[in-house]
């Protein structure tokens, strides 16, 4: 029996970004250098497959620092941590490695600079997300006000509208954020922009690639974790472009009945999803369909971040 032909439009760029690559590499190098177990505060990146793989090599994931023995090495996740966390590690004389993405660290420094210059600070982001908790925790409580929607801007109470600046989470929807920024500027005309866009290059690039794929496809599958902000935003980008879209963690999550009658399908992956999961999804399609692969390239990425010096010492 012949298979139904389908075209898979594969978004590029997709999957791992430089910050995620670096964070995983940090845990792997820490395991090599210090030996197992190495503790990791929070999921190093939001992907179950990656986390399980590192657990298998001797990483132990915990929610808070008090779960880590004083004499064990600990890695802080790519999303960043409040200042209280390294301060507590220093107090306990712990060996710690900070895997915060350098682009998240940039936003941290920005918040500190605004504070030094006497500005009130508004953060655009999702309440409860580790990155938002980490960024807001760079300053004393209450110094950064969080807005999630255009509606939040309307009820925002600011003491001095002439000395106001905003920062953003790095993994937001470009379109949604633009609407919130427009609302902030309308209400507070003197609000200061970031010197350079806070939403990171990888988020921007992946959303652009999904938009391009959505112009060709009837439905889009995004590979990523439910708690991954950048993956959820990719689903929204495809929906906004008029495509049916769903988030899946693995090939086993594909709802084949949902795809019945569809012959043009887009595939992308969030910044914390490894390429092996993309290959797994493509293989699942090949089992059922006569597949034609069509890459959709929007921009080439060549960003790399250095790992912390503590992991390189003694490696002559």
Asked, colleague to colleague, whether 18-101 and 103-187 share their fold, the answer is no
Q: Of these residues, 131, 141, 157, 275, which one is catalytic?
A: 131
pLDDT of residue 316: 45
Q: Can you tell me the distance from the alpha carbon of 166 to that of 199, in angstroms, rounded to the nearest whole number?
A: 12
Q: Can you tell me the distance from the alpha carbon of 50 to that of 222, in angstroms, rounded to the nearest whole number?
A: 17
pLDDT along the chain (316 residues), means of 10: 94 97 97 97 94 98 97 97 97 97 97 97 97 98 97 96 97 94 97 92 96 98 96 97 97 98 97 97 98 98 94 69
Q: Is 131 a catalytic residue?
A: yes
CA angle at 171 for the pair 166 and 176, rounded to the nearest 5°? 65
pLDDT of residue 1: 74
Q: What is the pLDDT of residues 50-64, one digit of tens each?
A: 999 999 999 999 999
pLDDT of residue 313: 72
Q: Can you tell me the distance from the alpha carbon of 314 to that of 187, in angstroms, rounded to the nearest whole number?
A: 55
Domain ranges of the chain: 4-16+201-297, 18-101, 103-187
Q: Can you tell me the distance from the alpha carbon of 24 to that of 178, in angstroms, rounded to the nearest whole number?
A: 31
| Cα atoms in the 13 Å half-sphere on the side-chain side of 124 | 28
> Is the CATH number 3.30.380.10 carried by domain 103-187?
no
CB count within 10 Å of CB 32 equals 13
Composition of the chain by helix, strand, coil, percent to 5: 40, 20, 40
The fold of the 4-16+201-297 domain, in CATH, is Cobalt-precorrin-4 Transmethylase; domain 1 (3.40.1010)
The fold of the 18-101 domain, in CATH, is Rossmann fold (3.40.50)
């Amino acid at each position: 029996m012949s298979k139904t032909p389908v075209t898979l439009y594969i978004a590029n760029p997709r999957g791992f970004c430089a910050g995620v690559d670096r964070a995983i590499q940090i845990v792997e190098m820490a395991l090599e250098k210090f030996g197992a177990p190495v503790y990791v505060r929070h999921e190093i990146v939001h992907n179950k497959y990656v986390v399980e793989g590192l657990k298998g090599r001797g990483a132990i994931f915990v929610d808070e620092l008090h779960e880590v023995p004083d004499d064990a090495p600990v890695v802080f996740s790519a999303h960043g941590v409040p200042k209280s966390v390294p301060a507590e590690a220093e107090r306990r004389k712990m060996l710690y490695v900070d895997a915060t993405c350098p682009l998240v660290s940039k936003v941290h420094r920005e918040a500190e600079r605004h504070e030094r210059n006497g500005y009130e600070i508004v953060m655009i982001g999702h309440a409860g997300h580790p990155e938002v908790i980490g960024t807001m925790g760079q300053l004393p409580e209450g110094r950064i006000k969080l807005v999630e929607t255009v509606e939040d801007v309307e009820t925002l109470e600011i003491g001095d509208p002439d000395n106001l600046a905003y920062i953003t989470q790095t993994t937001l929807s470009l379109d949604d954020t633009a609407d919130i920024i427009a609302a902030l500027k309308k209400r507070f005309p003197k609000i200061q922009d970031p010197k350079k866009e806070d939403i990171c290059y990888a988020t921007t690039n992946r959303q652009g690639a999904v938009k391009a794929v959505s112009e060709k496809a009837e439905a889009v599958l995004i590979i990523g974790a439910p708690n991954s902000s950048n993956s959820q935003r990719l689903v929204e980008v495809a929906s906004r472009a008029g495509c049916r879209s769903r988030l899946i963690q693995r090939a086993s999550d594909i709802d084949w009945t949902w795809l019945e009658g569809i012959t043009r399908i887009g595939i992308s992956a969030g910044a914390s999803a490894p390429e092996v999961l993309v290959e797994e999804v493509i293989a699942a399609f090949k089992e059922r369909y006569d597949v034609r692969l069509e890459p959709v390239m929007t921009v080439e990425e060549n960003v790399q971040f250095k790992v912390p010096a503590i992991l390189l010492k003694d490696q002559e």
